[in-house]
Amino acid sequence: MSLIDEPTSNTPEFSVSEISGAVKRVLEGEFGRVRVRGEVGRVVVARTGHMYFDLKDDRAVIASVSWKGQVARMAVRPEEGMEVIATGRLTTFAPQSKYQLQVESIEPAGAGALMAMLEKRKAALAAEGLFAPDRKQRLPALPRVIGVITSPQGAVIRDILHRLQDRFGVHVLIWPVAVQGQACAAQVARAIAGFNALPEGGAIPRPDLLIVARGGGSIEDLWGFNEEIVVRAAAASKIPLISAVGHETDTTLIDFAADQRAPTPTAAAEIAVPVQADLMGHLTGLEARLIRAGGQIVTQRRQRLADLSRALPRAEALLAPAIQRLDQWGERFPGSLRALITAKRGELHSTSAGLRATTIRFQIDKSRERVADRATRATRAVAARLENENRRLAALERLRQSMGYPATLKRGYAVIRDEAGHVLTEASQAANARLLEIEFADTRLAALPQKTAKGGKPAPSAPDQGTLF
């Protein structure tokens, strides 16, 4: 054996997975199911629905996890800073080399923890203005339709229906919900929003008033009505809402967001509608008071009229001057009418004198003379205008003859065109044309262009082949 060779060890070798599995078996075997009390640290809910949070005290922290199904069954969800008792089992998470507590259920560590969390949530929602008095709506005096959100089983709904029937018969719509447990908050919030979403005049009548009701219970039983989604749904309701959750000593956050709180569900029914007999009695009293007041007003007005009539003069004295004037006008009317007829007859005679045949014929002759004179003057004006226009046209024609290109050709100029008939104005154009046409004043001649050879000398002319012209 070489001196540099290390002695082999008898310690067995383990893989990483074997060590991790052994630690997991020891941890789960030693502790199994445990209950751990501590303060909740950060809380993270993944998109999958699993919840991750920390349990800690003043010296240590345990990572905890609750799967989606376990989270759905929790009556109270952990919040940061809340002291709880978590029940579950210890296990390991091999990919990160750590141990964690798989929590199956959580309960607050006493009523004090729940109350502390409740006060914290109440302060946060109040800071948003959800409990402000100016946001609350007035309840309708006599609702036609009432929507009740509660459990369809139990004494609460029966008490509400019996009390409504005894006091004033109204149409009642019941939206069944769970009134405790994990599903309570979501169902109550959906019921409030659902009633508000009903259209006016639809197949299902829209309630004029809502009642959210539940019987008494512990703070854990009533916890669903402390959830934020329920409070926000109650505050956002456009329909006035009465909260009747628990007994007189029970208080939940929905009581602060509702438009009015009733100490019991039965009291909510009493607040919602009046007693029909009391209402009828009140209406009868108002009717009697109205009749008495009307009679008193008529009597007072009659007495006042009698008092005023004594200060008025007699009707004969008031009408005597008018009657006298009428008699005078009646006597004067026939003579005035005859005088008017005579005057109008004279006007008619004077007017008809102008309508005699001779007068009309004279006027026609004068009109005919005026028309003939105007026609003569118009004929003369038109003839003078035509003569002026003819002279102007002749001058323009002379100008056209002198300025036109035929006259220019007579002065010794010529027009050169190519074989397509285009006028050529430059020598380069003429050099490139195959055949030229030269127009003189009296005729047109055809010519061949003279090509220019390199160096500027004229190219030798092609043999004469005659012309087509």
Helices and strands in the chain, H and E counts: 13, 13
Fold for 119-132+143-273, please state it: Rossmann fold (3.40.50)
Rg of the chain over Cα atoms, rounded to whole angstroms, equals: 59
| Beta strands, E only, 246-298 | 260-261
End-to-end CA distance of the chain: 129
In the numeric block, the tokens 């046409």 are attached to 437
Domain ranges, ordered by start, for the chain:
19-109, 119-132+143-273, 281-307, 403-469
pTM for the whole thing? 0.47
How many residues are present in the chain? 469
Q: For 278, what's the count of Cα atoms within 13 Å in the CB-facing half-sphere?
A: 7
Query: Per residue in 97-125, pLDDT tens?
Result: 888 888 988 887 765 667 777 888 889 99
Q: Do domains 19-109 and 119-132+143-273 have the same CATH topology?
A: no
pLDDT at 9: 62
Q: What is the pLDDT of residue 147?
A: 94
Give which of 181, 222, 225 is closest to 75, Cα–Cα.
Answer: 181
Q: Give the type of residue at 187.
A: Q
Ranges assigned E (strand) in 277-431:
415-417
**pLDDT of res. 40:** 85
Contact 68, 49 (CB under 8 A): yes
For tokens 């609460």, name the residue.
156
What confidence tens digit (pLDDT) does each residue in 359-397 have? 778 888 888 889 989 989 999 999 999 999 999 999 888
Instruction: Say which residues have a Cβ less than 8 Å from residue 86's Cβ, sequence separation at least 6.
Output: 35, 36, 37, 38, 55, 64, 101, 103, 105, 106
Within the chain, which residues score under 70 in pLDDT?
1-9, 110-113, 277, 353-354, 451-469
What local confidence, expressed as pLDDT, does residue 446 receive? 84
Q: Which CATH homologous superfamily contains domain 19-109?
A: Nucleic acid-binding proteins (2.40.50.140)
pLDDT of residue 365: 85
